[in-house]
Structure 1
Amino acid sequence: MMVNALNAERIKLLSTKSPYWCVAIVALLAILFSVLIGAFASGDDSENIYASDYTTGVSQIGVIVLMIMAVLAVTSEFRFGTIRTTYQAIPRREVVLGAKAVIYGGLSVVVTLVLGIVALLLGKVLSGNNMDLVGSDAIRQYWGIPVYTLLCILIGLGIGAIVRQTAGAIVVLLIWTLALEGIIGIIPKFGDAVSPYLPFNNAARFLTERDTSIDFPWNAYGSIAYFAVISLIIFGLGVFFTKKRDA
């Protein structure tokens, strides 16, 4: 059953335009930010640039685009009514969402892996700094961004399955990733207490591992593990609501 579900999701992926547009936008953002940062951070300034700065277009903005792609993978089926046909062919709904996670997650991992490497190479060449492309900071970007992206895809699929409506799901996603955690963080006392446990704060800490004012209760690898748990919970809730509600 899983093989059939994977084949079905692969066909959907390749036969719709939105994934192509999303990947193209991510590629454009990755290259654009890397070129801009590399070109303007020359000379002594380039030594203050981290490997994670060059990959900003991928890890901070591009990943959001890929999360929107994951949302659309679910909500578009509800919008056009094809979800009923999908569930008739594959009655086990958790298998359907699992197949989406494999296909869209796999695509996103490959895309961000390639673009992360390209972004680092471009940034280093244009800035002329002495960043070690096989150093620990760079290596963390090579594997860390794809892992982070995969977890974000699970969140996107989970939100899409819970909300079901495209506009609503994208609004929830954008508010959470772009504003909510920042707003919570500036609330006196409450923000200081809660910030170490906000998911995307932990993900950002893992990718950059810079000194921040947030007092995390664990190290950088604990942060990505915590983010993984939150991602799996949201995806699990998506599966739960999908099984409980009518198509």
Structure 2
Amino acid sequence: MIAAINAERIKLASTRSPYWCLGVVVVLGLGIAVLLGAIAGGGYGDPGETDSLTGQYLTGVNQFGVAVLAIMAVLGITTEYRFGTIRPTFAAVPRRPRVLIAKVVVFGALTFVVTAIVCLVALVLAQALAGYGIALGGPDTVRQLWGTPVFATLCALIGLAVGALVRHSAGAVAIVLVWMLALERIISVLPRVGEYIVSFLPFLNGWNFLSGGSDTFNWNAYGSLLYFAVFTLALLGVAVAVTNARDA
């Protein structure tokens, strides 16, 4: 298993797409935080709202960056099918579930670490520019600082699962982006049925956790996080089973 993880780490570090994706996440995360902090510092914010504004300062990460990280994970497996490197990978590691588990470990760890660093730096910069002082101890701030990396990691793992199931880069990326950014939001506002379905939409549950919970859902914020995590693990389980059953 260690050898498989090292192999995935080397493959990740030797391709360009992860660097571009991570660069975009850094630019979005820090850029939007700096912009919002500067606006707040211009007299458009309330010093008493420092903790409640944390989610807005991290919009570049928890709204847009997570989509880029999911795309990075999709490409991490679909490009192997595209260029035919998946065959020697499965030949070197005959137990295919180990390959996907190794990818989960590598992409999950990278996503969590990078997101945690970007969130911390973005929040410090935004609060400094806002001129209200740096406060990292509020309940909303603490939840955002550890919750956003967890949410981003789960999004990346869903991207990995979809990539393993679809095996085509363009198709998998389209599915993930439409699902994450549009489909669930549209379903949630459908007349008569939207209010009953919203509690079972995975990405909206993730954002519900980050926002602190809503009466629209059948459970609280941490229930939403648990549901999203269970859904992600279930989808990964399906991806592992399907990959193990079909031809490379």
Please state how far the C-alpha of 1:44 moved relative to its aligned partner.
Answer: 5.2
Q: How does 1:10-49 map to 2 (within 5 A)?
A: 10-42=9-41, 43=43, 45-47=45-47, 48=49
Please state how far the C-alpha of 1:129 moved relative to its aligned partner.
Answer: 3.0
Q: Give the TM-score normalised by structure 1.
A: 0.95
Question: In 2, distance between residues paired with 1:21 and 1:70?
Answer: 13
Q: What per-residue deviation string (whole Å, max 9, x for no partner) do you get for residues 37-83 of structure 1?
A: 11112335244552111111111111111110100011000000000
Calculate percent identity across the aligned residue pairs.
50
Is this contact kept in 2: 1:51–1:131, CA < 8 A?
no
Do residues 85 (structure 1) and 88 (structure 2) align?
A: yes
Structure-2 residue corresponding to 1:123: 126
* RMSD over equivalenced CA pairs, Å: 1.4
Structure-2 residue corresponding to 1:108: 111
Look up the equivalent residue of 2:114 and give its one-letter code: V
Look up the equivalent residue of 1:138 and give its one-letter code: T
Question: In 2, distance between residues paired with 1:53 and 1:46?
Answer: 14
Question: In 1, distance between residues paired with 2:228 and 2:132?
Answer: 32
Q: What per-residue deviation string (whole Å, max 9, x for no partner) do you get for residues 74-102 of structure 1?
A: 10000000000000000111100000011
After TM superposition, what 4+ stretches of structure 1 lie above 3 angstroms from structure 2?
46-49
Please state how far the C-alpha of 1:130 moved relative to its aligned partner.
Answer: 5.5
**Segment of structure 1 superposing worse, 71-80 or 180-189:** 180-189
Structure-1 residue corresponding to 2:76: 73
Consecutive unaligned residues in structure 1, runs of 5 or more? none
Question: In 2, distance between residues paired with 1:122 and 1:179?
Answer: 30
Look up the equivalent residue of 1:21 and give its one-letter code: W
Q: Which of the numbers 146, 159, 174 marks the counterpart of 2:149?
A: 146
Q: How does 1:52-67 map to 2 (within 5 A)?
A: 52-67=55-70
Aligned length, in residue pairs: 244
Structure-2 residue corresponding to 1:7: 6
Is this contact kept in 2: 1:46–1:128, CA < 8 A?
no
Is this contact kept in 1: 2:25–2:60, CA < 8 A?
yes
Structure-2 residue corresponding to 1:228: 229
Look up the equivalent residue of 1:120 and give its one-letter code: L
Is this contact kept in 2: 1:9–1:103, CA < 8 A?
yes
Look up the equivalent residue of 2:196 and give its one-letter code: A
Consecutive unaligned residues in structure 2, runs of 5 or more? none
Is this contact kept in 2: 1:37–1:54, CA < 8 A?
yes
Q: What per-residue deviation string (whole Å, max 9, x for no partner) do you get for residues 141-177 of structure 1?
A: 1211111122112101100000000000000001001
**Segment of structure 1 superposing worse, 111-120 or 134-143:** 134-143
Look up the equivalent residue of 1:20 and give its one-letter code: Y
